[in-house]
Amino acid sequence: MTPFPTIDVELWIAKRVGLDQQTLFAGRTTPEIRRERIRTAIVERDLAAQVAGKRASNGQPESFGALFQRLYAQPLIPPQPTAAHETRSTENA
């Protein structure tokens, strides 16, 4: 799959998570901006574990979190640095 889904797919996801088309496409948008708006909508509405639909390939249910990761090739919630990593970073400063 391409790094970014088609606009039709983004519209489908936006509708499912309660994000209206005007908000998704407000101003000049890029695929990155729309990805972040969809990410924010999923996280703010606490929908990551909710079923988005069934995969056409195998008929299994897929959560919004898994769908986001599959479509955008990145996790819904980016990993945060660990406390140990932060401590080492400040010690070297």
**Residue 44 maps to a domain:** yes
How far is residue 6's CA from residue 88's CA, in Å, rounded to a whole number? 42
**Residue 2 maps to a domain:** no
Q: Is 67 helix (H, G, I), strand (E, B) or coil?
A: helix
Q: Which residue range is the domain that position 57 belongs to? A: 7-91
How many domains does one find in the chain?
A: 1
Mean pLDDT of the chain: 86
**Residue 22 maps to a domain:** yes
pLDDT tens readout for residues 43-61: 999 999 999 998 878 889 9
pTM of the model: 0.77
| The predicted structure's pLDDT at residue 11 | 93
Report which DSSP code applies to 27: S
**Residue 23 maps to a domain:** yes
| The predicted structure's pLDDT at residue 84 | 58
**Residue 1 maps to a domain:** no
Higher pLDDT, 88 or 41: 41
pLDDT tens readout for residues 68-92: 999 999 999 877 777 655 555 555 5
